[in-house]
Amino acid sequence: MRETWQERFAEAPDCLKSTQRQQTAVPVLDFAIGGGDFVTMAGPCSVETEFQLMATANHVRRAGARILRGGAFKPRSSPYAFQGHGLDGLKMLARARQESGLAIVTEVMSEELVPMVAEYADILQIGTRNMENYALLEAAARSGRPVMLKRGMVATVAEWLRAAQLILDNGNPNVILCERGIRTFETSMRNTFDAASIALLKQVSHLPVIADPSHAAGHSELVPALAQIAVAAGADGLIVEVHPNPAKAWSDGEQSLDFGAFDAMMDGLEPWLMARNRGASRRGTRNSRREIAGARAMEAVG
Ligand code: PEP
Ligand code: MN
């Protein structure tokens, strides 16, 4: 007999849809993630300079982003690569927030840093390398800030949901899942974008799902196509790396969009979002017709 999703994800019961909970909307400033609006998070991989951050914040806001991303603490594959500005980076993010009105998402890499990062960030990002760092997840959960949990690069969906369950168990309902690509035998791209995981999560889980086409692809020219696929798969939003001059970026320049490419990506998403909304409103119409018919039947009976 075929295993049900409830059985497969039995270790993450509170992440699954139920009659009481069909969708979680995570509140951020004056909007929500998972509440029906498609939310774009955009910004540089690393916070580098005041100019780089402000220019990017102002640009992505005008193009429709609601959240500014940028790493102040950077987990790097090479120990010799730029590790981030730390507290100074957080302060730059806070100024960018003040000037642009954008919310801030930024990574927290260790348990001890949670209070400091939570003071500046609207959303705490847990990176792929830390998905199963349960001491960090507990501390992040208890900070009270929404937590964006990136999928471990070698994590199954079940393991990912189990980590999300731990955050819920620590009293924080505001968990956002982020598909950022996984390791497979394919090496042409940085990772393999698992769009099917987005479709699956949207069917079985009430938690909002965000796609990261930048880290999934590793190449900027692939980012717009993966973003469209994410919309089609049902993602609640995107997190995308954008830099004023990707060739000069201190980290992840090859996968960062310049301002023109970001605008083109946002424009290119419009028809896909419209098609998705049309589908949803058609379903809505059908539902309301059914509801009206049901109400009439009740009246006739009663
Ligand atoms: C990032 O968002 O810059 C990052 C380091 O992401 P990940 O943890 O998915 O590699
Ligand atoms: Mn990056």
Tens digits of residue pLDDT in 198-236: 999 999 999 999 999 999 999 999 999 999 999 999 999
What is the Cα–Cα distance from 162 to 191, expressed in whole angstroms? Answer: 22
Buried residues in 244-276 as b, exposed as e (16+ CB within 10 A): bebeebbbbbebbbbbebbbebbeebeebeeeb
The β-bridge partners of 212 are none
Neighbours of 47 (CB within 10 A): 29
Tokens 């010799």 map to which residue?
80
Distance 128 CA to ligand 1 centre (A): 6
pLDDT at 168 over 80: yes
Q: What is the reported pLDDT for 240?
A: 99
Which numbered ligand comes closest to the C-alpha of 252? 2
Res. 285: pLDDT tops 60: no
> Terminal CA-to-CA distance of the chain, rounded, Å?
42
176-192 tens-digit pLDDT: 999 999 999 999 999 99
Please tell me the least confidently modeled range out of 39-43, 80-84, 109-113. Answer: 80-84
Give me the pLDDT at residue 165, please: 98
Residue 297 reports pLDDT greater than 60: no
Q: What residues are in contact with ligand 1 under a 6 Å CB criterion? A: 45, 71, 75, 127-128, 150, 180, 215
Cα(1) to centroid(ligand 1), Å: 39
Which residue, judged by its Cα, is nearest atom 4 of ligand 1? 127
pLDDT at 283 over 60: yes
- Kindly give the number of the ligand 1 atom that is closest to the alpha carbon of 46: 3
Select from 132, 215, 240 the residue to mutate for testing ligand 1; criterion: most ligand atoms less than 8 Å from CB.
Answer: 215
d(CA 192, CA 228): 16
